[in-house]
Amino acid sequence: MSDIRLLDAQAAERERMALAETLADCVAGGASLGIRWPFSVEEAHRWWGSVIESVAAGSTVLFGAYVNGRLCGTVQLAFDGPCNQRHRGDVRKLLVHRDARGQGLGNELMAALENEAVRRKLALLTLDTATGSDAERLYEKRGYTKAGEIPNYALTPDGRPCTTSMFWKALD
């Protein structure tokens, strides 16, 4: 049984180790998240500090996906762009622990994020993801439009360059 929750800064701090474990697991699985190997749970724990600060400042909304009470997925909605872009939000770091994949958590997290974006009266969502990834297929199924691909945009955790796809979705 899954449950998607909006996490404030205090809840995120309480869940920081589970968040770190999920991030470290995704990196260990090869996800191109702007992080290179080796990457420990301790480093992931520190990485979440800036996200929690952004949540506390009100410039990021953080969702957690729980299965049987365990946090095993997350996604962020950021709206910290320049003043002429306050109508849009950035989807950041959709993460699902490898042992929780195949249950629809990524789709549930994105549905919650999109509902929150509509509630906040955002008109547009943007994101980038590794070309050919499971995430790319999920975004396409959710109605995101691929704006294009940028070769060698990011590096995989082992340092190889990878192509990144840019997506957008207009909200009603």
Q: Could you tell me the pTM of the whole model? A: 0.95
The alpha-carbon radius of gyration of the chain (Å, integer) is 15
Q: How far is CA 38 from CA 35, 44, 71, in A?
A: 9, 11, 23
> So what's the pLDDT on residue 86?
93
Please tell me the predicted confidence (pLDDT) of residue 171: 97
pLDDT by position in tens, the chain (length 172) = 799 999 999 999 999 999 999 999 999 998 888 888 888 889 999 999 999 999 999 999 999 999 999 999 999 999 988 999 999 999 999 999 999 999 999 999 999 999 999 999 999 999 999 999 999 999 999 999 999 999 999 988 888 999 999 999 999 8
Task: Please report which helix (H) or strand (E) contains residue 116, including its range.
Answer: helix 105-119
Q: What is the pLDDT of residue 37?
A: 84
Show me where the domains of the chain are located: 2-123
Q: What is the pLDDT of residue 35?
A: 84
CATH class of 2-123: alpha beta
Residues 6+ apart with CB under 8 A from 27: 33, 35, 37, 39, 44, 157
Separation between Cα atoms, residue 154 and residue 130, nearest integer Å: 8
Res 76: pLDDT: 98
- Tell me, what's the pLDDT at 127? 98
Identify residue 81 by its one-letter amino acid code: G
**Cis before residue 151, ω within 30 degrees of 0?**
no
152: left (phi over 0), alpha (psi -120 to 50) or beta: left
